[in-house]
Chains A and B, each alone.
Chain A
Amino acid sequence: MPDATGATPTPEAAPLHTGSRATRALGLAALAATVLWALYGLVWSPPDVEMGDLVRLLYVHVPVAVLMYTGAGLTTFASVMWLRGRTPGWDSLAVASAELGVVFGALTLLTGSIWGKPTWNTWWTWDARLTSTALLEVLLIGYLAVRKVDPSPAGGSVRASVLGLLLFPNVIIVHYSVDWWRSLHQPATVTRLDPTIEGDMLVALMVGLLAGGLTFGWLLLHRFRVAWLEQQVERHDLAAAVADRRAEGDGGTGTASPTPATPTEPEAQPA
């Protein structure tokens, strides 16, 4: 039940969006870093001796790939933490990082493919890393599919968290078995993804990692708050539905008041 302090909120205290001082600062930093990223990646760094200008695609591809795995790892971490403490915040983090994982995973596959076409002369090759990345993307999509159809109230569900818990171990198992599968079939004839990188090229990659990381953090904060709001909406809708039932059945329904009727302690917001 809303407490008495919830009078008409000043827009300062409770904005009608997911932004905050933290996201604004982070967003500005991400934007600035992205400009630097583009300058270093596309203008200031020299072309590679072997790959030529195509190396500039790797300044995008490598950071988004790293962030995809970060998203998957965070999902598993948050799922474990939710299973331990059952605090709604971890559940929001799990779903937020999984969705970011899917977005950055799609970009990883896309940029990798675009790089592979001129380099290997094919959009796709059954390289171990490509294959396991594609499987990770499918695993993340499956996780989100479960989250979408899970009717359990107020987000936090055992189902989703066990699935999230299994996510990263699955990635590891899949990665090693696929790696083994490929290495037995054919030695790595194609150029590997890691040429020795140094000087301005290394700077370009590092700036890319920084800019990508800041953008990821900014998106994660916003997406986390969206997940949080979704939980609150469900909670309020449920409370309202229960109240309706009560009023209609004159209190004779006999069902115990479900926990969501009393507001759970909100997570400390990382504002």
Chain B
Amino acid sequence: MTTATLLALSDGGYLAAGWGATVLLIGGYALVTLRRGRALSRRVPAEDRRWT
């Protein structure tokens, strides 16, 4: 599923843009959320984050 295979399809540019934007945005948002969680975890005592 490289960009090259995508671009080989008809209207490949649009496909690459749509799928690429989705992967990038969700991936980026996931990254930001995970990092926020790590940063905040340090400021909260252990008994208030009881998930394992």
The residues of A with any CB-CB pair to B shorter than 8 Å are 2-3, 5-6, 9, 12-22, 38-39, 41-43, 47, 52-54, 56-57, 60-61, 64, 103, 106-107, 110-111, 114-115, 117-118, 215, 218-219, 222-223, 225-226, 228-230, 232-233, 236, 263, 266, 269, 271
Chain B facing A: main interface SS: helix
Given A56-B9, A226-B36, A269 contacting B51 (CB threshold 8 A): yes
Q: Would you call B1 an interface residue if the criterion is a C-beta within 8 Å of the partner chain's C-beta atoms? A: yes
Contacts of B26 in A (CB 8 A): 103, 107, 215, 219
B21 pairs with A110, CB closer than 8 A: yes
Contact status A53-B22, CB under 8 Å: no
**Given known contacts A53-B9, A57-B15, A266-B50, A103 and B25 CB-to-CB distance under 8 angstroms:** yes
Pick from A2, A52, A54, A103: contact of B29, CB under 8 Å: A103
| Known interface pairs A107-B22, A114-B17, A225-B49; A39-B1 also in contact (CB < 8 Å) | yes
Tell me the count of chain B residues lying within 8 A, CB to CB, of chain A.
Answer: 36
Which residues on A sit within 8 Å (CB–CB) of B17?
A: 114
In the complex, whether B44 has a CB less than 8 A from a CB of chain A is yes
Given contacts A60-B22, A103-B25, contact A20 B37 (CB under 8 A): no
Query: A53 to B26, alpha carbons, bound, how many Å?
Result: 23
A107-B25 CB under 8 A given contacts A14-B50, A114-B18, A219-B30: yes
Q: Which residue of the partner chain, among B9, B19, B40, B52, contacts A13 with CB atoms under 8 Å?
A: B52
Could you list which residues of chain B lie within 8 angstroms of chain A, going by C-beta atoms?
Answer: 1, 5-6, 9-12, 14-15, 17-19, 21-22, 25-26, 29-30, 33-34, 36-38, 40-52
**Partner of B37 from A111, A117, A222, A269 at Cβ < 8 Å:** A222
> With A and B bound together, what is the CA distance between A271 and B49 in angstroms?
11
> In the assembly, what is the distance between CA of A226 and CA of B15, in Å?
33
Residues on the B chain within 8 Å of A114, using CB: 14, 17-18, 21
Chain A min CB distance to B34 (Å): 6
**In contact, A18 and B41 (Cβ under 8 angstroms):** yes
Instruction: Please measure, in the bound complex, the distance between the C-alpha atom of A47 and the C-alpha atom of B8, giving whole angstroms.
Output: 13
- Measured CB to CB, the nearest residue on chain A to B15 is A56
The listed residue (B1, B33, B49) touching A219 by CB distance below 8 A is: B33
- Are A111 and B22 interface neighbours, CB within 8 A? yes
In contact, B11 and A16 (Cβ under 8 angstroms): no
Quote the shortest CB–CB distance from B37 to chain A (angstroms): 3
Contact of A222 among B14, B30, B42, B48 (CB under 8 A): B30
Residues in chain A near residue B37, CB distance under 8 A: 17-19, 222, 225-226, 229
Q: Which residues of A contact B25 (CB under 8 A)?
A: 103, 106-107, 110
By the criterion CB–CB under 8 Å, are B46 and A236 in contact? no
A230: chain B residues at CB < 8 Å are 40
Question: Do A229 and B6 touch (CB < 8 A)?
Answer: no
Cβ of B2 to closest chain A Cβ, rounded Å: 10
Going nearest first, the 8 A-B pairs with the smallest beta carbon separation are A9-B46, A18-B37, A14-B46, A229-B40, A20-B51, A271-B51, A53-B9, A16-B41
